[in-house]
């Protein structure tokens, strides 16, 4: 980086994926689409090239400038993006890089929606980065800095679309691809072992089966999130009250695009969902909303962070949000002094004691917590994108366990 570029992007203003070692290691094992966003001349390209240099062995930088796409107030329907989108699609399809950087202004919502759809289709998480240069919104300075020679009036027309933060459907921790594959395999083994327990086979009524019938839990929980994650704050693109205030919190800003290790202490299954209980650390609780538990159980007093979970699968017509509600039902029972009926142990990757809480509620307290690496970011695409639960083929054979 040149001395001038270093002044433009001071060390303290660089995103974690450039300066934090744990984040860098996590990003290398993830699939991430980085969308540079900002006015022409604000420093996007400098930042994009810094990231490309950092991850040169596993990164691909695609630039709108290279395709001669002028940054003016435009929509996504024009043909100017055809070649760029072909390059992006080919990169995704051929898995040419785990980290893909797209350098453009990204001021148009229609255009962004198309990119979010592409990322979801190829199971890429999205990180939106904006340069922190002092002049990033100063049109007078940008007039002399942008190589497109855009006029002051053209820049002022673009500025309103880029002044406000772009809020996601929800913020959360998105699992690194390697760890996601491992956890999906762990979920598969949990459901297989649980389904084969004699105690489980005797209590099938809650799952719509008669005693002694065989229930394939993998088929029963036939849906799984496109990318495994632990939701922190549901925003509905800013429509939820308090979303903008949450996004503006200093702790949230510092956390964005940073790598975190999540600790899974238990797996659970109900007639509606199968999930993983996440124990948040003190650092992670800093970005956990104080009202997260009250949102779904307003009449109960529950420990902060007790709703933290990863949805592994849901039954037909059940929404992902139900997983957190099911987890809180376990928490409430435990708060009341009920530990559940001990009904056996599982072995292998999912070793631990199995407890039954009536109404088809099963909890596996793991003998050793499972660690999964993640990136804190936002989900910006359409809600409800899911994939079928996968079997063992093609998944990793080892988990990282504490």
Active site residues: 229, 309
With H, G, I as helix, E, B as strand and everything else as coil, classify residue 34: strand
Q: Is the Cβ–Cβ distance between 343 and 355 less than 8 Å? A: yes
Neighbours of 348 (CB within 10 A): 9
Cα 203 vs. chain centroid, distance in angstroms?
35
- What residues does 129 pair with on adjacent strands? 36
- Which helix or strand (DSSP H or E) is residue 24 part of? helix 21-28
Beta-carbon count within 10 A of 172 CB: 24
In sequence order, which residues have a C-beta less than 8 Å from that of residue 257 and are 6 or more positions away? Answer: 15, 16, 17, 23, 127, 129, 375, 376, 377
Dist CA 232 CA 242 (whole Å) = 13
| Nearest CA among 115, 114, 383, 16 for reference residue 234 | 383
């Amino acid at each position: 980086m040149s001395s001038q570029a270093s002044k433009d992007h001071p060390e303290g203003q660089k995103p974690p994926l450039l300066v934090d070692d744990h984040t860098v290691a996590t990003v290398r094992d993830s699939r991430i689409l980085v969308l540079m966003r900002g006015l022409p001349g604000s420093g996007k390209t400098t930042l994009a090239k810094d990231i490309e240099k950092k991850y040169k062995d596993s990164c691909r930088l695609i630039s709108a400038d290279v395709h001669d796409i002028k940054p003016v107030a435009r929509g996504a329907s024009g043909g100017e993006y055809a070649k760029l989108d072909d390059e992006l699609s080919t990169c995704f399809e051929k898995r040419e890089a785990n980290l893909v950087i797209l350098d453009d202004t990204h001021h148009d919502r229609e255009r962004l929606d198309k990119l979010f759809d592409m990322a979801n289709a190829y199971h890429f998480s999205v990180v939106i980065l904006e340069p922190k240069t002092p002049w990033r919104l100063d049109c007078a300075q940008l007039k002399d800095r942008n190589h497109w020679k855009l006029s002051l009036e053209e820049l002022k027309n673009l500025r309103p679309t880029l002044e406000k933060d772009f809020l996601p459907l929800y913020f959360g921790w998105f699992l690194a691809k390697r760890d996601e594959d491992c956890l999906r395999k762990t979920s598969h083994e949990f459901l297989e072992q649980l389904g084969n327990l004699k105690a489980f086979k005797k209590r099938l009524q809650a799952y719509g089966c008669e005693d002694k019938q065989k229930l394939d839990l993998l088929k029963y929980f036939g849906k799984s999130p496109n990318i495994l994650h632990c939701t922190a704050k549901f925003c509905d693109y800013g429509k939820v009250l308090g979303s903008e205030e949450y996004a503006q919190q200093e702790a949230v800003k510092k956390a964005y695009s940073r790598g975190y290790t999540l600790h899974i202490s238990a797996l659970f299954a109900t007639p509606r969902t199968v999930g993983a209980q996440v124990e948040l650390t003190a650092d992670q609780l800093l970005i956990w909303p104080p009202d997260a538990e009250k949102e779904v159980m307003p009449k109960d007093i529950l420990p902060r962070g007790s709703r933290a979970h990863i949805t592994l699968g849901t039954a037909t017509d059940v929404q992902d949000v139900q997983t957190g509600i099911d987890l809180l039902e376990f928490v409430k029972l435990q708060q009341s002094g009920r530990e559940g009926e001990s009904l056996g142990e599982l072995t292998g990757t999912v070793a631990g004691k199995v407890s039954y809480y009536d109404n088809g509620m099963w909890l596996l307290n793991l003998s050793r917590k499972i660690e999964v690496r993640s990136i804190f970011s936002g989900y910006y695409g359409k809600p409800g994108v899911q994939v079928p639960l996968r079997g063992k083929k093609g998944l990793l054979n080892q988990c990282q366990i504490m």
